[in-house]
Structure 1
Amino acid sequence: MTTKRSRSTAAAGLVLGAALSLLGAAGTAEAAPTGTTGYATTVQAHSNLREQPNTSSRIWGTTTKVTEAGVECYTLGQYVKVGTYGTSVWYYGTVIDYDIGHIYSNVWMWGGNVNVGADPAPGIPRC
C-alpha cells in the first residue's frame, strides 16, 4: 500500500484501451472495465494522491485536471473539511493522469475529491 508505482507515457498508452471507459458519470459508481480493478469514477483537478488516508502523509502526485480513477475500496481516515463539505471517507485505488503520463497505483484519495456522489459511495466495499 505504501509504494508508488509511476509508469511512463508508453505504459499509459498500453492501458488506454482498457481505461477509456473508466470515465464514470459523476455521482455514480460502476464496475470498472476489464484490465482495471474496482469502480470507475473520476477525481477532481488539483487533488493530492496520498500514501495514507490523511493529509500529513506523503503526496505521490497531484491531478492536473479531472482525472480517471479505479476505486477498490474505502476507509475512514482523517476528517477533512473544505468549504461547506467535510468527510472522513478516503478511497483507495488507481489514478490515471494522461496529461503528465502517469498511472498512480495504490494511492488514497480524499472522498471530497472523488466524484462518486456520496461518501461512502454505494457498492464500494470497505477496505
Structure 2
Amino acid sequence: MPVDVVMDGGEVYFILENPQEISAVRVMAVKPGGEAALLWELRHNMTTPVKERRFPKVKQLKYGVALEEFPVAVGPAELQKNVEYTVHLDIGKNFAKEVFMITDDKGLVVPRPAFSRQRGRVYTAVTDKDGKKTFVLK
C-alpha cells in the first residue's frame, strides 16, 4: 500500500491514498552498514486484548504527533538532514512503507518510490480556519 511523504514548513507528513485504520507507526533511521535506529513509534501494548484496542482511521499523519488510541509511544527524535529514513504503517493485514531523506536545502526526497503511481505526485497544503493542514493531490 503506498504512503507518500511530504514536507511543509519543516514538518514531515505521511499521506495515504485513502483513510485507513492503522495499528502501528514506526519511523527508523537507516545507518550505514544496515543498522536501524528507532526514532518514533506509536503502537498498542501487546498485553491489551485485541478486542479492546482502538485503531485510528487516518489519511494523513504528522511526524511526532501522539494519537490517544496508541498507549505506547517512543520518541519522536529530531529528524536530521542527509539521513535515510523508513516509515512503516501497519494497516490491518497490509502495510505501507517508504524510504525518504531530508536534504540540505530543507527539501524532502523519496529516492525509490515503492509504487510507480507515486512518481511525480505533488501535494498542496490547505489550511482550514482552525489551522489544521490537509494535503490535496494536485
TM-score normalized with structure 1 length? 0.31
Q: Which has the higher contact order (CA 8 A, sep 6+)?
A: 1
Larger Rg: 2
Looking at secondary structure, tell me which structure has more strand per residue. 2
TM-score normalized with structure 2 length? 0.29
Looking at secondary structure, tell me which structure has more helix per residue. 1
